[in-house]
Amino acid sequence: DNVDLGDLMFSLCYLPTAGRLTITIIKARNLKAMDITGASDPYVKVSLMCEGRRIKKRKTSTKRNTLNPVYNEAIVFDVPPENIDQINLSIAVMDYDRVGHNEVIGVCQVGNDAESLGRDHWNEMLSYPRKPIAHWHPLVEVR
């Protein structure tokens, strides 16, 4: 069953000379409500993965009580050009909870090992260095 968890828009930009990978979390839309109030307190967690291992993680600020948050927050990772092919980004939209633990609303991945759109977005970024490429990505459930 394909639950609609919402979509996340972000841009990817790679600077090969500086070895800098920038992901700008732009906004999300139609997120699944996680709280009894019918809203969520979403934030985005980005993990830099290499061969299945998490190397670094960063997160955006939390947006209160919304299913359509706007972030416009850039997250920068240092990735030397010789390593860019082994890297994937795992992106999770999380619901912040003051009590209990934070829940995952949905995830998406970009990189060489990603599926369809995630791989296309990555390849487009590599084809146009220094240019931010933005796309909407549908969120999927964590497997």
pLDDT in tens, 110-132: 999 999 999 999 999 999 999 99
Indicate if the pLDDT at residue 143 is higher than 90: no
Indicate if the pLDDT at residue 142 is higher than 90: no
143 within some domain? no
The model scores a pTM over 0.85: yes
Which CATH number belongs to the domain containing residue 117 in this structure? 2.60.40.150
Question: For residue 54, which of 135, 116, 109, 129 has the smallest C-alpha distance?
Answer: 109
Domain that holds residue 23: 6-138
Q: Residue range 88-104: average pLDDT?
A: 92
User: Into how many domains does the chain fold?
Assistant: 1
Which three-class secondary structure state does DSSP give residue 8? Answer: strand
- pLDDT for res 41: 95
115 within some domain? yes
Please state, in angstroms and as integers, the Cα–Cα distance from residue 128 to each residue in 64, 125, 131, 133, following that order: 35, 5, 6, 8
Question: For residue 8, which of 64, 67, 82 has the smallest C-alpha distance?
Answer: 67
60 within some domain? yes
The token pair at 92 is 């999770």
Task: Label residue 23 exposed, middle or buried (CB < 10 Å: 0-12, 13-18, 19+).
Answer: buried
1 within some domain? no
With cut-offs at 50, 70 and 90, classify the pLDDT of residue 93. Answer: very high
pLDDT tens per residue, range 20-41: 999 999 999 999 998 788 899 9
Average pLDDT, the chain: 94
pLDDT > 90: what percent of the chain? 85
With cut-offs at 50, 70 and 90, classify the pLDDT of residue 90. Answer: very high
φ/ψ of residue 38, rounded to 5: 85, 10
The token pair at 57 is 């993680």
